[in-house]
């Protein structure tokens, strides 16, 4: 999809297309729509990131709370978004054995208890062995640092989802700005 098409989208179409680049946060896409026209995919991405960065801490934590636990209840109940299901599947998290699933469930609960939001990781840039290791490592982080890290992961996910939608170069896995 080219930027001319993106810039010509009406409000509803834009929100339908970009409403889940930030997991379950179509309001972000709704706010970004008003910033048209975009000069290119990096400009579009920058508007999403600027919106997140401008939120107060409570809003940023709210964005994080929209993410599901990796290999968690939403996966087990079949209620993941299509994007999350694809990403968790690519990381091998949809085929964990019972022991690995229980280990992740415990780590996810500890993380949520410590930080007040779920562990967010760009799953498709990881594999099933890396996820619990990274979760355990990040459990030891300070809350302010972890908030920044988690928001950086949201931006990576956003970047990858936009690349899927726009056919952009997905090889660049780091977002424009952390």
Question: pLDDT, tens digit, for every residue of 67-82?
Answer: 999 999 999 999 999 9
> What is the pLDDT averaged over residues 2-13?
97
What is the model's pLDDT at position 170? 44
What is the model's pLDDT at position 168? 63
174 vs 145: CA distance, rounded Å: 18
- Residues serving a catalytic function are 67
Residue 175 lies in a domain: no
Phi-psi region of 126 (alpha: psi -120 to 50; beta: other; left: phi over 0): beta
The verdict on pTM exceeding 0.75 is: yes
Residue 62 lies in a domain: yes
Residue 76 lies in a domain: yes
Residue 116 lies in a domain: yes
- pLDDT over 50 at 143, yes or no: yes
Residue 172 lies in a domain: no
Residue 69 lies in a domain: yes
The total number of structural domains that make up the chain: 1
What is the model's pLDDT at position 42? 95
- pLDDT over 90 at 169, yes or no: no
Residue 177 lies in a domain: no
Give the domain CATH number at 19: 1.10.3330.10
pLDDT digits (tens, 9 = 90+) for 30-63: 999 999 999 999 999 999 999 999 999 999 999 9
- pLDDT over 90 at 150, yes or no: yes
Residue 130 lies in a domain: yes
What is the model's pLDDT at position 176? 47
Which residue range forms the structural domain that includes residue 54?
3-166
């Amino acid at each position: 999809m080219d930027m001319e098409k993106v810039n010509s989208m009406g409000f509803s179409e834009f929100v339908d297309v970009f409403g889940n680049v930030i997991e379950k946060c179509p309001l972000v896409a709704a706010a970004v729509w008003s910033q048209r026209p975009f000069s290119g995919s990096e400009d579009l991405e920058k508007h999403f990131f600027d919106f997140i960065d401008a939120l107060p801490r409570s809003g940023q934590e709210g964005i994080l709370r929209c993410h599901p636990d990796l290999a968690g209840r939403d996966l087990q109940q079949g209620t993941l978004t299509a994007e999350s299901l694809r990403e968790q599947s690519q990381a091998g998290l949809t085929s964990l054995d019972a022991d690995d699933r229980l280990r992740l469930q415990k780590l996810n609960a500890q993380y949520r208890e410590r930080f007040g939001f779920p562990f967010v990781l760009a799953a498709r840039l990881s594999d099933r062995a890396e996820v619990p290791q990274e979760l355990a490592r990040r459990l030891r982080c300070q809350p302010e640092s972890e908030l920044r890290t988690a928001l950086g992961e949201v931006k990576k996910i956003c970047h990858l989802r936009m690349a899927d939608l726009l056919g952009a170069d997905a090889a660049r896995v780091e977002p424009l700005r952390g």
